[in-house]
Structure 1
């Protein structure tokens, strides 16, 4: 998960892509969203609008210009910045798709897969799942049959609310059946929408070879394309290949560290969790309100109350605070001193 999306509006249709997934900084993402929402602006005006130092805004604009996400125009002595249409920016990012982090992950992924020697396995021992949906359905099938151990490596720097929503029911069902669950992930750098589930074991490592799931040491799944999960996954059932992946997991596990203890988690109400989830998907206050059946005033009021409770002044700071803590939902919890209007 990159930093939480700020309000989006105008002609973008209410949703713009989080630029952090393509290697741009959180400040660049924030400045781009401010331009889409507020229209063309000078660097000084943007700095006041997002409450970020002018030097950081200037650096963010340089990033956006290099990525083709903004256009400058000189008007007298002023330099006015305009946003490029989000759909066009998304297309450019997809075509570019080569920030250093992705390139390095590609290298590690390909090196690991090459070491499996899948060209030597028996026919039928390797299966291609052609889409993200097909992969998720197969994961659900394999997980439903698990009885002993589930291993997973997550290479994303940010775990999105959508990913949590998709994996939570499967993970909880495994733990309820007494299946041992061990997960490896990168050190937390973004918004964490919940802590590891009680009963699971989690460790962190700075370098991970590939995104992976191993089911009862009998079958393994990894992405067909580490930069595009929509391309589906590869399922491997060859015993030697699966053993190799289990041994790889074990070596990393031994050297990995427990998650850093960063203080008590941030406790979110159901309403706060719902609003943050929708905003993180790129919605504006207006479209978030419509989707959740609330008034815009309620969305603004809830966010303001949360910022006051956490001692932050703006949404960028709020995203940083949530990123430094485990934001979890407490069912039915509503601040006693706050009346939440609809």
Structure 2
């Protein structure tokens, strides 16, 4: 008996004994019901009932007409039907729970007039945001800056979402990039997995927008969950404004775009964001001397005598330009 296989069949809607008897049939081959009951130590009536259910849904059938030994049938067509039925049941349950929640909110004495805003505080806030992010369908947008209330580990939820095709756009404040452990363990792995990352000297709020719900974090570990309403539209507009003026970090290490290496583009973006030389070196994971060598190589290639001239050259050659939306003017970097 394979417990995992039984669990899968139960998930699709079979009862445990029906799943077990189906697997018994697979192991034994064609067998009369009474003999199957003896070999498995089950009650004959229980076996006949389970075989009747399996035959009814197409997982078992007689070998040669009524009264002949029973055999397990190929599961593919049946499992496809069961899967669709289960999905429909889950969708119905989800809709019912949503209606129940809204009914409760409407009739609760503590109901807030603006039902589109939910306040979560304390230890429950972080878990609530994780649940929201796990449920992402299309896109996650974020404005990111300290303080952080968890270890600087990789965001496994984001990595899983990126792997299944969810788009991530993040704007980091300079203070986030001043934490080498956060950059190494969180920002870089997500960037290399497909996150589109940009940087500003400062972000106005700590914000996570998951599809049509926004999580606005406060300094006291309180989170406002804001769904489709005027405030949500304002927060989404705030993110897009920050996104347009932020500089790309180029974390994906791709070779497309201007004639400049990803590490060099990242170096220029970090300097433009206002980080000091020491901070840039820590974020890049190199020594201060190596960082200066990168900078000197760039200046030698461009013929720049100082950083200001290098900034002008980078601007003219779109080394730090941000891809605009169709029909929108390009947004360029400010001088270093």
TM-score, length of structure 2 as denominator length: 0.38
TM-score by length of 1: 0.38
Answer with 1 or 2: which has the greater Rg.
Answer: 2
